[in-house]
Amino acid sequence: MDDNETGAVDFVREVIAADVASGKHGGRVVTRFPPEPNGYLHIGHARSICLNFGVAEEFGGVCTLRFDDTNPSAEEDHFVRAIEADVRWLGFDWGERRRFASDYFERLYAWAEDLITQGKAYVCDLSPEEMREYNGTLTEPGRPSPGRARSVEENLDLFRRMRAGEFPSGARVLRAKIDLASSVLPMRDPILYRIQDAEHHRTGDTWKIYPLYDFAHGLSDAIEEVTHSLCTLEFADHRPLYDWILAQLDTPSTPEQTEFARLNLSHTVLSKRFLRRLVEEGHVAGWDDPRMPTLSGLRRRGVPPEAIVAFCRGVGLTKRDNLIELSRFEYYVREHLNRVAPRVMAVLRPLRVVIENYPEDGEESFDAVNNPEDESAGTRRVPFSRVVYVERDDFLEDPPRKFFRLAPGREVRLRYACLVTCTEVVKDEAGEVVELRCRWDPESRGGNAPDGRRVRGTLHWVSAKHAVPIQARLYNPLFSEADPGARGGDFVEGLAPDSLERVDGGLAEPSLAAAAPGTTFQFERLGYFSVDPDSTPERLLVNRTVTLRDSWAKTQKRGTESQRSRARARTT
């Protein structure tokens, strides 16, 4: 059984464990993950995937991947394949259990006729506006549509003619006859079928009518003998309808619906509708833009699937909506990458360093540890020569006392290589520092001080003649607001202006040239970076997956610290 961070078993698993113990549903556990193939999966879906596949595994049950493809206008085959790839990438396997709601269209239709025959469904001709008006409000009961009084025969005839394509799209619908005064709005004679003249990605133009989610979902669950239909809170109001439909019809099983809160993540939006707008309006480069919370975006960014699964477990399940901080997700990403990511050295903004007392044409290589967290990752040789590059930020001409990096006259360690002392600063006409002249201590090969003298700073570096050029893309949160979705359709107003920063002219150690796209590394002292699929050996493109530390929180803290010191300055 799965424990979340608090060590408590979540309430869904409690329900299931109790059902298994009491022998309900014959003690079986069957779940499903039911995506609609109208977009790409996002990290919220991962929450549902982990839950459905997770409980099936933990309770010795099975989980079906069911495409809820009942709305032909938005659904496409390539979404089906992308969803499958994403679920597999997360590490889940549906085996033979892949289904489509469209596989059940004939059975669903027969059940609809059954409801009509029982006098529990009727054809309604009201326009959507009229229907809204007839349906009343929370404080006011609905009024019956004229269609409600139709005979079984007339309803059957009209429904069959709807199927035969005799009426235009939207002209009529089939509604359940339940309770127009119900305090539960979905029970006020909900629509079961509508006429839609659209090409379906699997059934083509066979069907002129399509079932609505509420009708198709529970019955699909029943066909698949799902025991626990786990869904998000917005369906809680639909549960009476879910149960009502199953109670009227002779179905292979009687699944039960349990709701849990959606995963909401700060500084992003988790709604396919909003994500589609980001893509279509060009705010991002595509569904797999590394700033997107889609699984394809996170993959491209270098986030390992294990981190997503661990995060979903870690945040657990709640019955109430809440907003999870993005930094909490990044914590899981860092945690996993720290354990598995190979370390390499790369310099994003290079500053040339010439080691004057190193032979002109000399070169040698040093052993570097691939992953201090994993001895089995071994070591590699990193080439070194007279000219190396260090990070521009690692030099200050006039440093404060506690700056333990390069400065005139200061000695630092070039990681794994040697100790160097800065002897001269070379500037261009504009006064810009363009080169440092240094001297090395030949006795310090490997990076150790021969006499045990104290050298506090250790810098990453790359050898000029061996380096491979890189372009780095640094990502910040896509939105500057914590909850842009709260603005509704205006969510784009919350977009951050600086979510992508391209840094050209970087250099990396040569081992990176052979890296397969999708591999994530730790660039020492800089962060985790992943090789982009568009990368070529001639021009390496890397995406910053996540910074090394929670620099974002740090910046915010630094902000408040400087405010505090400003306040102090005012009072003294």
Contact flag: residue 48 with ligand ATP (CB under 6 A): yes
- Rounded to whole angstroms, what are the CA distances from 278 to 194, 246, 265, 267, 491? 30, 39, 17, 14, 10
Which CB, 13 or 272, lies closer to ligand ATP? Answer: 272
Stretch that binds ligand ATP, among 155-163, 264-272, 521-529, 549-557 (CB under 6 A): 264-272
Task: Using the minimum distance from each CB to ligand ATP, give the nearer residue, 51 or 406.
Answer: 51
In the numeric block, which tokens belong to residue 376? 């089995």
Binding residue for ligand ATP, selected from 28, 45, 291, 380, defined by CB under 6 A: 45
- Is position 272 annotated as part of the catalytic site? yes
Q: How many residues bind to ligand ATP according to rule CB under 6 A?
A: 15
Query: In whole angstroms, what is the distance from residue 42 CA to residue 31 CA?
Result: 20
| Residue from 203, 271, 318, 365 in contact with ligand ATP (CB under 6 A) | 271
What residues numbered 175-234 form the site for ligand ATP, per CB under 6 A?
Answer: 231-232
Binding mask 224-263 for ligand ATP (x = CB under 6 A): -------xx-----------------------------xx
Q: Which of 177, 208, 262, 300 is catalytic?
A: 262
Report the DSSP beta bridge partners of residue 365. 383
Close Cβ partners of 369 (under 8 Å, ≥ 6 residues apart):
343, 377, 379, 416
Going residue by residue from 148 to 167, which x/- string records binding to ligand ATP, judged by CB under 6 A? --------------------
- What is the separation of C-alpha 32 from the centre of its chain, rounded to a whole number of angstroms? 20
Give the contacts of 100 (CB within 8 A, at least 6 positions apart): 66, 67, 69, 202
The Cα–Cα gap between 412 and 440 comes to 10
The verdict on whether 437 is a catalytic residue reads no
Give min distance, CB of 304 to ligand ATP, in A: 20
The C-alpha angle with vertex 322 and arms to 317 and 328, in degrees rounded to 5, equals: 80
Contact 508, 346 (CB under 8 A): yes
Tell me how far, at minimum, the Cβ of 20 lies from ligand ATP, in Å.
22
Let me know the angle formed at the C-alpha of 371 by 368 and 374, rounded to the nearest 5 degrees. Answer: 130
Which range of residues in 32-40, 146-154, 353-361, 362-370 is near ligand ATP by CB under 6 A? 32-40
- Return the residues of window 355-414 that contact ligand ATP according to CB under 6 A: none
* Binding of ligand ATP by 291 (CB under 6 A): no
**Exactly one of 24, 36, 57, 277 is catalytic; which is it?**
36
47 binds ligand ATP (CB under 6 A): yes
* CA separation for the pair 557, 563 (Å, rounded): 10
272, 300, 380, 544: the active-site residue = 272
Task: Tell me the CA distances in angstroms from 216 to 33, 34, 155, 192, one per residue in order.
Answer: 14, 11, 20, 8
Read off the tokens for 162: 């709807």
Catalytic status, residue 262: yes
Among 44, 72, 290, 494, binds ligand ATP (CB under 6 A): 44
Beta strands 121-124 and 418-427, pairing class: unpaired
The C-alpha angle 364, 368, 370, rounded to 5 degrees, equals 145
Residue 272 binding ligand ATP, by CB under 6 A = yes
The binder of ligand ATP chosen from 4, 15, 17, 36 (CB under 6 A):
36
* Residues carrying an active site annotation: 36, 262, 272
Q: Which residues bind ligand ATP (CB under 6 A)?
A: 34-36, 44-45, 47-48, 231-232, 262-263, 270-273
